[in-house]
Amino acid sequence: MTAGGHGFDGVERRGLMFVLSSPSGAGKTTLSRLLIERMPGLKMSVSATTRPMRPGEIDGRDYLFVDKSRFEAMVKRDELLEWATVFDNRYGTPREPVETALSAGQDVLFDIDWQGTQQLREKARADVVSVFILPPSAADLEKRLHTRAQDADAVIRGRMSRATHELSHWAEYDYIVINHDIDEAFAEVQSILKAERLKRERRTGLTTFVRELQRQLEK
């Protein structure tokens, strides 16, 4: 599969899968939103899920809402790049829209956990750039979870316990960003994406570009 899109400099390039992971409350959802708002050429991966639709959600925009039988069929047909069961519901990334975007030179943003990241890496290592977001301290993480006022104390304790296990996978990621300040963290994540877009191996049109440049110089 070859890339057919062009970067902002006009050179043909293949898109990349830009993965953000973190313990709940460390900031990956906010960073994902800022990236989508401020980085042209980046689209959010839309996951399929078996969980019920919540008020205000739109099918196809927030998630692809499917029943369990359809989800299982997608798994059997290898239509998902990654999938996992979270709190008795299944979540997965449909393969076709991601591969279409990458071939067109568009980057795709993933807000997934370490399990999903491992599966992406197994299937498409050269296309994956992974970033793990760390909180500056355990106290800060707990404070953020309480500040969100979305969960009961028992749920927050569960998320804090789960964070310990999630943190054990930090070394599997390409980049680590410590979220002391959301603006600084965004600047770091943005810099990573900009640099990865310029990697030689992703810029599939460079050979043609350089040959044309050489031809012009030899005139």
Output the pLDDT for position 158: 64
H or E element, residue 140: helix 138-148
Output the pLDDT for position 155: 67
pTM (two decimals): 0.86
Rounded to whole angstroms, the Cα distance separating 110 from 171 reads 18
Output the pLDDT for position 136: 85
Output the pLDDT for position 159: 67
Q: What is the torsional sign of CA 175, 20, 133, 37?
A: positive
Q: Closest Cα partner for 173 from 218, 212, 117?
A: 117
Sequence spans of domains, the chain: 5-45+107-217
Output the pLDDT for position 1: 35
Burial of residue 135 (number of CB atoms within 10 Å: 0-12, 13-18, 19+):
buried
Helix axes 153-167, 138-148, angle to 10 degrees: 140
pLDDT average per 10 residues of sequence, the chain (219 residues): 62 96 87 96 96 92 95 96 89 96 96 93 95 87 65 65 83 96 97 97 95 94
SS3 129: strand
Output the pLDDT for position 2: 39
Contact of 218 with 16, CB cutoff 8 Å: no
Chain length of the chain: 219
Chosen CATH of 5-45+107-217 out of 3.40.50.300, 3.40.309.10, 3.30.590.10, 1.10.1580.10: 3.40.50.300
Helix axes 182-197, 28-38, angle to 10 degrees: 60
Give the helix ranges, DSSP H, for 77-177: 95-103, 114-124, 138-148, 153-167
Could you give phi then psi for residue 131, rounded to 5 degrees? -130, 130
Rounded to whole angstroms, the Cα distance separating 45 from 24 reads 19
Rounded to whole angstroms, the Cα distance separating 16 from 123 reads 13
Output the pLDDT for position 156: 64
